Chain A
């Protein structure tokens, strides 16, 4: 390809406004809104109680933030492709339960992978229901959320199951390695980097954006949109499964109510992080920060002495404010 520079003529005029351009660029980053919210909340709690940013407290809210965040990242990835998954909370619980049962029978390593295979299978089913029947994924996965939760209730009879397996996977996933920091925090960061690179730096990521942005255009340009959707449903379910197993190795007990309503928290995290409900736009890092914010709220409210009941009210307000800020920031696009 020839490389005659066609844009050199436009460049010179706008040099003096370099600073403005840079500011404009920063504002256009899809993570801009959530970073602002993140800073505000951190400042707020730190002023009220300086212990909020002590290492041990940071590690504390990262623990819950990592579990919710791994789920939220999967949700965001799927939402960008234009679909929803409400069944993640049930997959989370079911994978955790399977992990406990299989680890007890065999070993925690095959338990980890087998539980994730089952999660992937549930994602595969979700995806196929959506692309074949064309019912909205909101409805399809509302159904599978109840179905999988029901299955878990049916199998356990509603009783809790304690972990009696070996320590291999628990050590790898959650055993403290420095103060209150756990490997799950690092796994969380690795997953965020992996998913973010997949979304932004690969062909597949470009297809994900296009599938959620305008599906007919994607299809007519040769993107296998159905394949993209099914793969994203699978990824979303597997990430929910990983989150569930991490949480189970921390709590060491699986109850049938485990993870209930977490699907809504994960969707809220993605939205706070700047992902559009209508698809085609969003960010992995934003969703991860969104989840950490949710977790910070929980911990922060406790630390400033507010009764934990206030958590829901706070989340509600933050969600609405973040959604408004994000929408304002991308008035060009949406």
Chain B
């Protein structure tokens, strides 16, 4: 177990089917501490399915998960969050019809006791939300504003801020740059780096290598539910990585450009 301490996440032999569709076939996957893993693959490769298993939305048909040194059956998103796994799902991180502060604390609302009853600690929700929103560089007048008025980039930033606020050990981002402007993409990437520098590991899902290349330490490529291989970024140009994703060519061992060169 001792050598496991390098690993924050270890998923072994994970399989998952939806009826006849085998979304994942015997996939091994791990994340080290302080590492940003880029999870790549075409649409339908199984990326979202893999991380949904890790964050408790789906249960694997087969396989084991180790997190932070212990074996876990992650039966619900709440369990995952309690263990320090925060996820920003594809297009699904915030509720439009709710205010920013209500979103920020959704599922983990702070309360204060009055008599035998517990009520929302609204003052704290407002204050802390203001701070988180400010920390990720977003200018809103009031945490009482509805999320519907925010841009895509602002939503991603707030979702990431929320994960940091809740002391995530692992932050999972599913296609966080989709539908963002170039400037917004830059901001989000900066937040991802800040999160890692704060001691959190990150899984960064993308189907576009160029998006993730700047921040990624290691790539894991999925293809049709199989793990096609891993690439340590090192000096690997994005073209090389992209080539692998496009061709589906198997990557023997762990490809490490920095050693090859």
List chain A positions with a Cβ less than 8 A from chain B. 1, 3-4, 6-7, 10, 14, 197, 201-203, 205-207, 209-210, 212-214, 216-224, 276, 279-281, 332-334
Contacts and interface: CB of A to CB of B under 8 A. Distances in A.
Interface centre among A10, A205, A216, A221 (most CB of B within 10 A): A221
Contacts of B80: 222
Given A202-B120, A206-B105, A333-B148, A220 B95 contact: no
B30 interface: no
A334 B149 CA distance: 10
Contacts of B22: none
B118 A202 contact: yes
A6 B95 contact: no
A123 B109 CA distance: 27
Nearest to A2: B131
Contacts of A216: 89, 92
B149 A332 contact: yes
B97 A213 contact: yes
On chain B, which size bracket covers the interface? Answer: 35 or more
B98 A210 contact: yes
Contacts of B96: 213-214, 280, 333
A333 B77 contact: no
Contacts of A224: 78
15 contacts: A4-B131, A7-B130, A202-B117, A202-B119, A202-B120, A206-B102, A209-B98, A210-B98, A213-B95, A214-B96, A220-B87, A221-B81, A222-B76, A223-B107, A276-B97
Contacts of A14: 141
A264 B92 CA distance: 33
Interface centre among B87, B89, B98, B139 (most CB of A within 10 A): B98
A218 B131 CA distance: 23
A333 B55 contact: no
A276 to B, nearest CB: 7
